[in-house]
Amino acid sequence: MIRSVVQGCGAYLPERIVTNDELAKKMETSDEWIQQRTGIKQRHIAADGEFTSHLALKAAERALAHAGLDGADLDLIVLATATPDETFPATATVVQKALGMHKGAAFDLQAVCAGFVYGVSVADSMIKNGLAGTAMVIGAETFSRILDWNDRGTCVLFGDGAGAIVLKGEQGAGTSADRGILANALHSDGRQHDILYVDGGPSSTRTTGFLRMEGKEVFKHAVVNMAAVVGEVLGKAGLEAKDIDWLVPHQANKRIIDSTGRKLGLAPEKVVVTVDKHANTSAASIPLALDTAVKDGRIKKGDLTLLEGIGGGLAWGASLIRW
């Protein structure tokens, strides 16, 4: 049986850090409000001329170095992003060229904040079906470019960044004790479009548009759907919450993260939290958090790691990985 096994991970954050206090100088907000409601203390913002592909490339290079591979070893890049460099071609092809990967396929995937778990699921399916052998899954965003900086209800919540993992198809026994991706679960509900969307696009307005969100509504759906999907993915793998070593959730709001951790009965130290430092980086948030916990020594080979995320669409999902 073929398993998609993680070979390495990497991440990159733009140099410029913007604190809550810095935002409070420009708009009616405060460090206290932002921290109390979300847990966010700061975010990284891309420099002028620094694009999603630049962040993605740096994360991808670091993931390859961590895996001991180079671009020529890859035959698939799935880049999850809602903020591509251009309307087309796929930003993944820009990264493909820069990595010196001249075979296989590279494409973008759009599932906003759930993009990374969607990307992991798609790459895993392609590996299992023989369409790819070694795959890079990247989540990369420059959300600062689609924020309405006059809307304090949204602009304080997001940041820019990128993270990536390398997966390789390996033959194995296929039990839940073996390394690799054990199970995935994906969902979307297009009826919830109006609570989180961007009010522009090439076909509708010919503009890029700005992010619009009814935060309270999204919050309610997030709490309910995250609890359900983590239960679903554990059930698919025949495992229970007590088996989880690490929960690596989408980093939108500390209160949503805490709620999922509590419902799973997990000790807080088993939940990886980076929302304080990175804010919500959409598709990049899970691989950024993963990379943080792998590189600081928390997540080790063989640990049962649960990823979950939800965002515009609404779209949500979870992946269970024996790291």
- Give the CA-trace dihedral at 152, 154, 160, 164, to 10 degrees: 160
Our finding on whether 292 is near ligand UT7 (CB under 6 A) is no
Q: How many residues lie near ligand UT7 (CB under 6 A)?
A: 20
- Among residues 54, 250, 253, 278, the one annotated as catalytic is 250
For ligand UT7, the closer CB: 153 or 172: 153
280 flagged as catalytic: yes
Binding mask 198-237 for ligand UT7 (x = CB under 6 A): -----------------xx-xx--x---------------
The SS3 assignment for 102 reads coil
225 flagged as catalytic: no
Q: What are phi and psi of 141, to 5 degrees?
A: -145, 145
Our finding on whether 37 is near ligand UT7 (CB under 6 A) is yes
CB 242 within 8 A of CB 266: no
C-alpha to C-alpha distance for 53 and 172, rounded to whole angstroms: 34
By CB under 6 A, name the one of 45, 94, 156, 289 that touches ligand UT7. 156
Closest CA to 222 of 134, 317, 302, 131: 317
Shortest distance (Å) from residue 255 CB to ligand UT7? 7
Shortest distance (Å) from residue 243 CB to ligand UT7? 26
Closest CA to 273 of 18, 256, 4, 11: 256
End-to-end CA gap in the chain? 17
By CB under 6 A, name the one of 256, 271, 294, 304 that touches ligand UT7. 256
Shortest distance (Å) from residue 82 CB to ligand UT7? 10
Shortest distance (Å) from residue 50 CB to ligand UT7? 22
By CB under 6 A, name the one of 83, 91, 225, 280 that touches ligand UT7. 280
Closest CA to 264 of 235, 286, 303: 235
Q: Which residues contact 235 (CB under 8 A, 6 or more apart)?
A: none
Binding mask 298-317 for ligand UT7 (x = CB under 6 A): ------------xx------
Q: Which residues pair with 142 in a beta bridge?
A: 160
The SS3 assignment for 289 reads helix
Our finding on whether 7 is near ligand UT7 (CB under 6 A) is no
Our finding on whether 142 is near ligand UT7 (CB under 6 A) is no
Q: What are phi and psi of 243, to 5 degrees?
A: -80, -15
Our finding on whether 20 is near ligand UT7 (CB under 6 A) is no
C-alpha to C-alpha distance for 198 and 117, rounded to whole angstroms: 21
What are the residues binding ligand UT7 (CB under 6 A)?
Answer: 29, 33, 37-38, 113, 152-153, 156-157, 215-216, 218-219, 222, 252-253, 256, 280, 310-311
State the catalytic residues. Answer: 113, 250, 280
